[in-house]
Amino acid sequence: MTTALIADDEPHLRAHLRELLAEVWPELRVVAECENGLQAAERIAALAPDVAFLDIKMPGLTGLEVAQGIEGTTRVVFVTAYDSYAVQAFERAAVDYLLKPTSAERLARAVARVQAALAQPRDDGALAALLAQLTQAQGATKPTPLRWIRASRGDTTYQIAVEEVLYFQSDDKYTLVITREGEHLIRTSLAELAQQLPPEQFWQVHRSTVVGVAHVASTRREGDRMTLHVKGHERPLAVSRAYQHLFKQM
Q: Domain-by-domain residue ranges, the chain? A: 3-138, 148-247
Q: So what's the pLDDT on residue 4?
A: 97
Tens of pLDDT along the chain (250 residues) come to: 899 999 999 999 999 999 999 999 999 999 999 999 889 999 999 999 999 999 988 887 888 888 878 877 899 898 887 666 566 556 544 367 888 888 899 999 999 989 988 888 766 666 676 666 666 665 554 556 788 899 998 889 989 999 999 999 987 678 999 999 899 999 888 877 887 888 889 998 988 899 999 999 999 988 888 999 999 888 899 998 878 888 876 5
One CATH from 3.40.50.10860, 3.40.50.300, 3.40.50.2300, 3.65.10.10 for 3-138: 3.40.50.2300
Look at residue 141 in the predicted model and tell me its pLDDT. Answer: 47
pLDDT at 54: 92
Task: List all residues 6 or more positions away from 139 whose beta carbon is below 8 Å from its beta carbon.
Answer: 195
Which CATH superfamily does the domain covering 148-247 fall into? LytTr DNA-binding domain (2.40.50.1020)
Q: Write down the pLDDT at residue 247.
A: 84
For residue 129, the model assigns a pLDDT of 67
Q: What is the pTM of this model?
A: 0.59
Which pLDDT belongs to residue 223?
83
What pLDDT score was predicted for residue 161?
93
Burial of 229 (0-12, 13-18, 19+ CB in 10 A): middle
